[in-house]
Structure 1
Amino acid sequence: MTEPGISFYEARGPQGMRLYAIGDVHGRLDLLTAMHRRIEAELSQRPSTDWRVIHLGDYVDRGPDSRGVIDFLIDAQRRDPRHLMLAGNHDLGFLDFLDVPDPDGLFMRYGGVQTALSYGVSLTANAYWFGKAETVRQGHAALVEAVPQNHVEFLRSLPFSVTFGDFFFCHAGIRPGVALESQSLQDLIWIREVFHDHTGLHPKIVVHGHTPVPKAEITGNRVNVDTLAWQSGNLTALVVDGADKHILTVTGERA
């Protein structure tokens, strides 16, 4: 029997727990720290019995300080396990490149050069565009040496989804008609059109990133908080406090 769906306007968070779901960071440590300061200030001004800060994946690539972002998240999680981090496709692409230096893979094609630079390693874009696989292999060896083991362990440990109250959090979205507990890991970090185009209700409101939008996108069945932070300078979060739901944005320099 199909589980009944719920609309965004009816959805509620857990009693006594405030939720913050932060969109794709992509190396923008400045925006991530600003968002955390904003959340800390809000929790101080309007205390909640309990809370969770949920990061929706894509911590690396494109922006200038992927290494700093991972250091920050590891430290935040160490200080308080209520800081939760989910896997994004770029995070797994980084791990894939560390395993196998594919010059045509996600990492080299979409911002991995900037990630490597944050670790002090040069992987020139020409190494990809002109097929200089040997140059990529040399850079790969240097990057493997430069990336701390705790960064690798952190990325390998990332779960693909989490749920609280009437909300289901993941990086990219879900496949409509498939039970939440049966979603494929591939869909949770990669899906786009078939999820975005679905207008029916899901068992829970899906809160996701992955597909950039100019401002937070709220529909009856999902919320997209990927506002292209690495380029736009706008990092966005959904805040859920019981029945109250609102958007929080921090703004910095455009790339």
Structure 2
Amino acid sequence: MTGRVDSTLSKGLSVIEALAAADKGIGVSELARNLNLTKSNTFRLLQTLIIHGYVKQDQNKQYSATMKAWKIGQMIMEKLDLPRLSISQMQYLSSITGEAVYLSVLDGLSTLYIEKVESTKAIRTYTPKGGNAPIHCVATGKALLAFNYDTLREKLIGNLGSYTDKTITTIEALDVEVDNIRERGVAIDLGEYRAEVLSIAAPVFSSNNEAIASIGISAPAINLSEEDIEKIIHTVKQAAQSLSSTLKDI
């Protein structure tokens, strides 16, 4: 049996969702029209949400969502044991590729490795669990960056450090790379952080379709042929999609 729904709360949540999805601030009239609400009702909802910190208004009387809803989501996500939920897919990737497998999350403008399955090969890469790498030049970082780009792009301007001759160091080039990652659903690092190290990763999405983690492999360039890379791309995407499905069922 479906429970009774509080209409005011439902409208308020619709306002937050509409503002969060908007590329820029929205006026009360446009918002009311988009949500099929009266202007007076929409205004009252906005004022209540402002008081509770979910919405802000600029000097042009445009409304936008604050980071409060995101912070609540982060608190919920922190209670999830991502490494435990991810380990079966990480072991699967390891068994297929034999290379080091990493699970990463955002850490400022870096990617943080929160879990790792070691490579089984004699020649291997080494980045410890708990280590960091710049978000713009490793695959796990770029996979997260591409699907959180709206909030991270401005912060990266002037902060694109160079590590090899393949590192992306301009925001214009990064714009193009992000578009490519979003289109193919996977990020590839062909020696952008360490010259002889390749990495491939895909984003992991939560139940509200936010890219909260990434999963991928890191390998010495000598270990992988072009054919190997194409096979691993497919396998990494499968693992990320499977893990995303697990999170969406929680």
Q: Same fold (TM over 0.5)?
A: no
Q: Which structure ranks higher in relative contact order (CA pairs < 8 Å, sequence separation ≥ 6)?
A: 1
Query: Larger helix proportion, structure 1 or 2?
Result: 2
Answer with 1 or 2: which has the greater Rg.
2
